[in-house]
Chain A
Amino acid sequence: MTWSRREVLGTLGLASAHGLWLAAGCGPHAAPLTPKPASAGEIRAWLHDAVERLTGAGMQDARALAVVRDRAVAGIDVLGAGVTRTHAAGAILTGLRRDGIRIERVTSELTADGIAAAARALAGDARPTAIAGSSHQQLTAIARDPAELTNADLLAEAAEIEALEPARSSRIVYAAAAVEVDDANVWAVASGFDRAQRLVRYRRSAVRVAWSGTRPVIGEVHRAWRGELVDQKLTADELASATHAALGLVTPTAFDGGVYPILLEPSVAAIIVDAAARGLLTAQASVRPEVKRRLAVGARVAAPLISVTDDPTVAGAYGGYGFDDEGELAAPLVLVDHGHVVGVLADRAAVASGHAATAGRGRRRDHLGPVVAGPSHVRIATGVGDRATMLDDGFVLEGGVAASIDPSSDRLIVAVARGRERRAGRDTGRVFADLELVGSLSDLLSSITGVSQQHELIGRRDDGDAPLPWRSMDAPWLAGRGELRARRRLG
């Protein structure tokens, strides 16, 4: 892979337009400056009032959701250190009008007046109608409030990662470590429920870059989870593996493309299943005729060894949650059972229109954007194989970079960082950088002949306008066959 420092830091979450070029010194370490939000009780009361007003205007299924989000990233790289912090808040009110149109109103004014104004915009001066009461459900609790983490605390955590590797090869031209904290308080109120959750997501990561010929080679390691900062730490072995990946010598001959036996490392298996879940196994994808033909419930799409479940309730899962952005309680959903499609990810609109049986996957960008159905924490069932012995001859594909699937044709393209050649069960020492796995997704998944008992957790955070910024996957090694080719010309 060829990355700039900007992109490297972007991956680490530091690439703001301004706080990027970090240099010597960390500055004073004052406490974080967080806003003084209204109390949770006040916010819930405002949402309750808004739902009553919408209901009074004759709207069915009125709901209100509010969010207060804080994000902090501390990073250390070869030139220095820095911290970025962002804060956002807002609320969304929704209801079903008599004409069958669902209306939504979003405001960034998370105040009594702001929410009341949003409710008036939808309901006019309608008199509030009492809604069914419910006891308050606080679905997640944390021991240490991340708001207490000062800039110095976060920088110390990043420095702790770098300290795992006190002596670094002179061939490493760029090194960075980062700690990210995403803290979201979300409240959802409707007739019959009053829910709150605090989603605190942490990510520790490190990257190493070395030159191989004319191209930089990246080694990266990360851990991403939900819960407490102290729950997970990177280890010296993990950091060493990132360094090793960056320093690994790449075979300087052209890759001979073709169909090979392959062993997919968990990061590769994870991005394939993640892309399939987002692009094919959703209610919105299932309206496409090509998807309907290939992936109807009951259709066989993979080898019997493959079972896939989306489960936002897994404790500590980076992509997990207690309720989705429509207020629906989280529950596991089997998507593929022994190679057969058995479920699709859906929001409430898809259930109402008969495109899916179960909601609970309605996700909104930043909790307030338009609803999109998508995966949360996708788990591929483990098997009985041993990763060390699952491939005799072929290529072990390592470092999943990106996967795309064309819903209309089933065509799959997976970019991987490396392909490591294996002959007679042993590494030959030949490693080809920047390969692509191409072909049909269903052919690839149907070719799977082995699933390992070992598995790894992978967390992904997409920046920008991504509707599903936090997702996680739990994936084993998968053995099968696939077409490989070089991603670029040699040189």
Chain B
Amino acid sequence: MIDRGELLRVLADRAPADWVMFERSIERGRFAAAKATARSERMRRIELVVYVDGDRGRGSARVVGDGDRDDAGELVAQAIELARASAGPAWASAPASAPARVTLEDETLRGYELGDAARALLAAIPSRAGVTIAPELELARESVDVIARTGLTASWVATLCELDALIVAHDRSVTVQRRARTLRGLEIDGVVAEAARDLELIARARTPAAGPCALVLRGDAMVHGGLGVWAAFAAQADAVVERQGLSRYREGHAIARRGEQSAEHILEPLAMWSDGALPFGTLSSPLGDEGEAVRKFALVERGAAAGLGLAPREAALRRREPNGGVRNLVVASGSWSGTADAARTIDVRRVRELHIDRYTGEATLEIALALEQPGDHPITGGTLRLDLIDALAFARRSPTRMRTGAYEGPSDILIDRAELV
């Protein structure tokens, strides 16, 4: 294994234009109940990001020193060679900024062997009559040390808990996935109970008829897969895509317009932020992938596009400060009371699949379970087609808030225009 001190000595000798070194020690424990398999991992890895300036501009490379590498000189030489081979427009690194102060470690996991902890936690899930659960739980603890040429040093510990479970009841099945920094954030019992209730509804659900409808998205259905429907804004705020002119997002302009009505001029215009320093956010980190400080910034302010996720290179080319890119999303609350007065409303409880076109924001959402109103009839199947930028710009948001994985914001939203196909 490469020695950190030796690596720093070689970097000082070779003196590339800039460099950042990450040393990661990762411990993982996993228990898969159905396979009765306990798994533990110990990984140590050195990642080196090197920038080289030359006649053709600046090149960069990231190389990894893994378990069977022990020659620091060779690692640095490889990084410099690869960086030279990928030279692009010239830019200069920004001065080092203080890392974001953020808590990422679940201290209740300290001192435990993670595989044993995972097994014990799964054994503690209460059994339910008529419900079979096949859960897998992985607990990870990562210690990170960062050293940069600028003199920046940082260290932190982060934990990550991931639940993946197949739940069977009423001769039907669903899979659930949850990610959280803390065990408490997984809400294992609640997830299982909710799935068991939903399976009862799925067992008597019918296929919906096509047609226009209003749409209610609640809880996990709204943030399916992590950021859920809000991921449309993360893609729009990608500085690289914006530079290519391929996104609808234009800083300072309304994010959507319906005829004469701008998203800026509604009663409760949308406001949302990227917050990479959200305590226990699954996308939180003190520093970005290239050692840049992670910062909170506005993506949408009063219905207008406000900011972009900026890695060091993109920030330098735009003469701005890097912010670590788009991370956890924080969305402002609204005052929606929870009632919909549309002729037909689809209240989505569980999503099977969500696909978002990262450039247009157009999305298709496959329904695993919804309640159709009036009547609260359970339905399953069917595809909802949405222009998410427009839909979320004009959506009503609840005052109640939820916090899960990489999202903090309203727990329910009402979208007045959707199409079920």
- Report yes or no: A108 in contact with B360, Cβ–Cβ below 8 A: no
CA–CA, A371 and B38, complex, Å: 12
Interface residue A87 (Cβ < 8 Å from any Cβ of B): yes
Interface residue A21 (Cβ < 8 Å from any Cβ of B): yes
Interface core residue of B28, B30, B35, B84 (most chain A CB under 10 Å): B35
Question: Per-residue 0/1 for B31-58: is the Cβ within 8 Å of any A Cβ (1 yes, 0 no)?
Answer: 0101111111111110001000000110
Interface residue A151 (Cβ < 8 Å from any Cβ of B): yes
- Contacts A106-B43, A409-B381: A33 and B244 contacting too (C-beta < 8 A)? no
Interface residue A406 (Cβ < 8 Å from any Cβ of B): yes
Interface residue B74 (Cβ < 8 Å from any Cβ of A): yes
- Contacts A102-B37, A108-B45, A404-B353: A21 and B82 contacting too (C-beta < 8 A)? no
Interface residue B289 (Cβ < 8 Å from any Cβ of A): yes
Interface residue A121 (Cβ < 8 Å from any Cβ of B): yes
- Report yes or no: B49 in contact with A18, Cβ–Cβ below 8 A: yes
Interface residue B59 (Cβ < 8 Å from any Cβ of A): yes
Interface residue B6 (Cβ < 8 Å from any Cβ of A): no
- Report yes or no: B37 in contact with A4, Cβ–Cβ below 8 A: no
CA–CA, A19 and B89, complex, Å: 13
- Report yes or no: A108 in contact with B37, Cβ–Cβ below 8 A: no
Interface residue A17 (Cβ < 8 Å from any Cβ of B): yes
- Report yes or no: A287 in contact with B34, Cβ–Cβ below 8 A: yes
- Report yes or no: B36 in contact with A104, Cβ–Cβ below 8 A: no
- Report yes or no: B1 in contact with A109, Cβ–Cβ below 8 A: yes
Q: Which A residues lie within 8 Å of B366 (CB)?
A: 406, 411, 413
Question: Per-residue 0/1 for A1-34: is the Cβ within 8 Å of any B Cβ (1 yes, 0 no)?
Answer: 0101110000000001111011111111010010
- Report yes or no: B35 in contact with A5, Cβ–Cβ below 8 A: no
In the complex formed, the residue of A with least CB distance to B289 is A17
The count of residues in chain B whose C-beta lies closer than 8 Å to any C-beta of chain A is 75
- Report yes or no: B32 in contact with A288, Cβ–Cβ below 8 A: no
- Report yes or no: A103 in contact with B171, Cβ–Cβ below 8 A: no
Interface residue A408 (Cβ < 8 Å from any Cβ of B): yes
- Report yes or no: B173 in contact with A289, Cβ–Cβ below 8 A: yes
Q: Which A residues lie within 8 Å of B59 (CB)?
A: 27
Interface residue A357 (Cβ < 8 Å from any Cβ of B): no
Of A2, A18, A38, A102, the contact of B357 (CB 8 Å cutoff): A2
- Report yes or no: B357 in contact with A90, Cβ–Cβ below 8 A: no
Q: Which B residues lie within 8 Å of A487 (CB)?
A: 364
Binds B, one of A56-64, A77-85, A379-387: A77-85
Of A104, A106, A287, A438, the contact of B134 (CB 8 Å cutoff): A287
Q: Which B residues lie within 8 Å of A25 (CB)?
A: 56, 87
- Report yes or no: A2 in contact with B360, Cβ–Cβ below 8 A: yes
CA–CA, A81 and B59, complex, Å: 12
Of B70, B78, B173, the contact of A290 (CB 8 Å cutoff): B173
Q: Which A residues lie within 8 Å of B241 (CB)?
A: 4, 6
Interface residue B61 (Cβ < 8 Å from any Cβ of A): yes
CA–CA, A487 and B56, complex, Å: 42
Q: Which B residues lie within 8 Å of A370 (CB)?
A: 30, 32, 37, 39, 136
In the complex formed, the residue of B with least CB distance to A82 is B86
CB distance from A247 to the nearest CB of B (A): 20
Interface residue A35 (Cβ < 8 Å from any Cβ of B): yes
CB distance from A9 to the nearest CB of B (A): 11
Interface residue B321 (Cβ < 8 Å from any Cβ of A): no
Interface residue A101 (Cβ < 8 Å from any Cβ of B): yes
CB distance from B236 to the nearest CB of A (A): 12
CA–CA, A68 and B359, complex, Å: 39
- Report yes or no: B87 in contact with A90, Cβ–Cβ below 8 A: no
CA–CA, A181 and B214, complex, Å: 50
- Contacts A107-B67, A121-B40: A4 and B60 contacting too (C-beta < 8 A)? no
Please report which residues of chain B, range 56-101, place their CB below 8 angstroms from some CB of chain A when the two chains form the complex: 56-57, 59-64, 66-71, 74, 77-78, 81-82, 84-89
Interface residue A86 (Cβ < 8 Å from any Cβ of B): yes
In the complex formed, the residue of B with least CB distance to A26 is B85
CA–CA, A18 and B314, complex, Å: 12
In the complex formed, the residue of B with least CB distance to A86 is B64
Interface core residue of A19, A86, A89 (most chain B CB under 10 Å): A19
CB distance from B248 to the nearest CB of A (A): 11
CB distance from B313 to the nearest CB of A (A): 7
- Contacts A23-B56, A290-B172: A104 and B38 contacting too (C-beta < 8 A)? yes
Q: 26 A-B Cβ contacts within 8 A?
A: A2-B357, A2-B359, A4-B358, A16-B62, A18-B60, A18-B61, A19-B61, A19-B82, A19-B86, A22-B86, A23-B88, A23-B89, A28-B84, A85-B82, A89-B67, A90-B66, A90-B67, A102-B35, A103-B37, A106-B43, A288-B168, A370-B37, A371-B35, A406-B352, A408-B173, A487-B364
Residues of A within 8 A of B (CB): 2, 4-6, 16-19, 21-28, 30, 33, 35-38, 68, 80-90, 100-111, 114, 118, 121, 151, 287-290, 349, 353, 370-371, 404, 406-409, 411, 413, 438, 485, 487-489
Residues of B within 8 A of A (CB): 1, 28, 30, 32, 34-45, 49, 56-57, 59-64, 66-71, 74, 77-78, 81-82, 84-89, 115, 134, 136, 166, 168, 171-174, 202, 240-241, 244, 246, 289-290, 311, 313, 352-353, 357-360, 362, 364, 366, 368, 380-381, 383, 387, 421
